[in-house]
Each structure stands twice: as C-alpha cells, then as structure tokens.
Amino acid sequence: MVKLVVFYEKPFCAANAKQKQILRQSGCTLIERNLLEHGLDKETLRAFMGDKHVSDWFNPAAPAIKNGEIDPENLNELQALDLLMGNPILIRRPLMIIGTEKLCGFDAQKVAEVLDRYVEPMPKINCMEKGCLEKSQH
C-alpha cells in the first residue's frame, strides 16, 4: 500500500525539509509542490484551512506578521484569503493533501491519523503493453 502525500512547501525551508523527512520515514511517497507558485484558486485554498481560526491560516514567522504589518486576528475570511492569495509567503505551511483530506500546517498527530485512514493501493501497471517487455536490439 502507498501512502501518497501532496506536499505544498516553501522551497529550501528547513522546517518543511524535516517534515518531508518524517513523512518519508513513515513510508510516504511525496508529490512536492512550490507553495509560493501554488496555482490554487481561493475556494481550493480555503478548503485546506478547514475549521481553523483565520489567524491560524497565517505563518507566524512571515515578515509581515512578525513586524506587525498584518494582524491576522483582525481579519475576516475574505480579507485573509485575499492576503494569502496575493502573498503566499503568508500561508501557514505545509499544505498537504492526503486521500481526500486537505491539511494546513504540520500537526504530527493529525497527519498520522489521516495517513492511517487514507492509504491508497499501488496502481496496477500492465507490463504486457507494447514496449514494456521489449528486448533491446543488439
């Protein structure tokens, strides 16, 4: 059985690298995506946030949050989504898709629970198709 995880990350982020290592050591196969160039629409991005409070959608280490330019506590959902879409560095990372569930942030216990529910079977490969078993001509 394959544990497949779509993992949206900030490239070269040390925390994301550790999280990916944990997932791989747990037997997961990762499909890595650049969060800063995610290509998600607002509705899809919103689905990752689930029932989290709006302030928990934001990366507390993002410069605009740390220096007080943006106060996520004072935003409604639409304002927050506009900010996240316009500046993806603000998004709490990683975003993950496991099975049919979307997660924001790396809560190890929650990730483990979701992985236990969504272990997908390895796709079947038909090696009898033309070319799969052909011998090279020497």
pLDDT score, position 135: 41
The pair of structure tokens assigned to 116 is 């236990």
What residue spans define the domains of the chain?
Answer: 3-117
Catalytic sites, residue numbers: 13
How many other CB atoms sit within 10 Å of the CB of residue 36?
A: 14
Mean pLDDT of 56-84: 97
**Nearest-angstrom CA–CA distance, 36 and 87:** 8
* Residue range 15-48, pLDDT digits in tens: 999 999 999 999 999 999 999 998 899 999 999 9
pTM of the model: 0.82
- Assign domain 3-117 to a CATH class: alpha beta
Q: Is the dihedral of CA 19, 8, 6, 132 positive or negative?
A: negative
Where does the pLDDT of residue 138 fall: very low under 50, low under 70, confident under 90, or very high at 90 and above? very low
- Which helix (H) or strand (E) element contains residue 104? strand 101-104
Short-list 91, 54, 60, CA closest to 76: 54
